[in-house]
Amino acid sequence: KAGVTQTPRYLIKTRGQQVTLSCSPISGHRSVSWYQQTPGQGLQFLFEYFSETQRNKGNFPGRFSGRQFSNSRSEMNVSTLELGDSALYLCASSFVLAGGYNEQFFGPGTRLTVL
Amino acid sequence: QQQVKQSPQSLIVQKGGISIINCAYENTAFDYFPWYQQFPGKGPALLIAIRPDVSEKKEGRFTISFNKSAKQFSLHIMDSQPGDSATYFCAASKPETSGSRLTFGEGTQLTVNP
């Protein structure tokens, strides 16, 4: 099976712009989660989508939003970019294993630089 | 609020030695504890995971030890190799009915010297 794919891999934007990142989960996985990774804050949960519905949301401002399509592909959008939004944005797809817990697999990430 | 605390922040081990990374959690609702390995420029890769109904799980050179009463778990890497040099993250999540949210520790940068 192909792994989680994310596009683009690298992105450079300027303050005030908006950006859209894309994630294709592993085939058959219905849940997609997004995380932000920075040296200072580590890995922080942004939100999770399951069957096109947001199921969980982390503690990020409303400038961060996402959506999921019927084929489970997901996009996240960041509006009015700030310097502090520079980070590696990771997408993870998950599958419910026997026993009822989620095993999450991460993509390679999109490196966003805000100038 | 940091719900999963990880130590040490960095670790240097000689080839063939044992690497030990520790994590402590606060939320007793957590019921799934994975470890991820991340190389520079890559996303985290699932290494091994444990549920609280067992005290130890071993996969090859990697072992998770779990102490439910102390709310602590640790990763042991036996016969550490230079190729194990990476950043390791512990994580925790609640039951599947709560969704797929992972809470991560701060990470440990492991260096294995040849």
Chain A interface, best mutation among B1, B93, B101, by max A CB count within 10 A = B101
Residue of A nearest to B107 (CA): A42
Q: Could you read off the pLDDT of A9-65 as tens digits, one per residue?
A: 999 999 999 999 999 999 989 899 999 999 988 999 999 999 899 988 999 999 999
* Whether residue A8 has a cis bond before it, omega within 30° of 0: yes
Q: State the nearest Cα–Cα gap between B16 and chain A, in angstroms.
A: 29
Cβ-nearest to A106 among B41, B43, B107: B43
d(CA A33, CA A47): 6
Cβ-nearest to A48 among B45, B95, B100: B100
pLDDT in tens, chain B (114 residues): 559 999 999 999 999 999 999 999 999 989 899 999 999 989 999 999 998 889 999 999 999 999 999 999 999 999 999 999 999 999 998 876 667 789 999 999 999 999
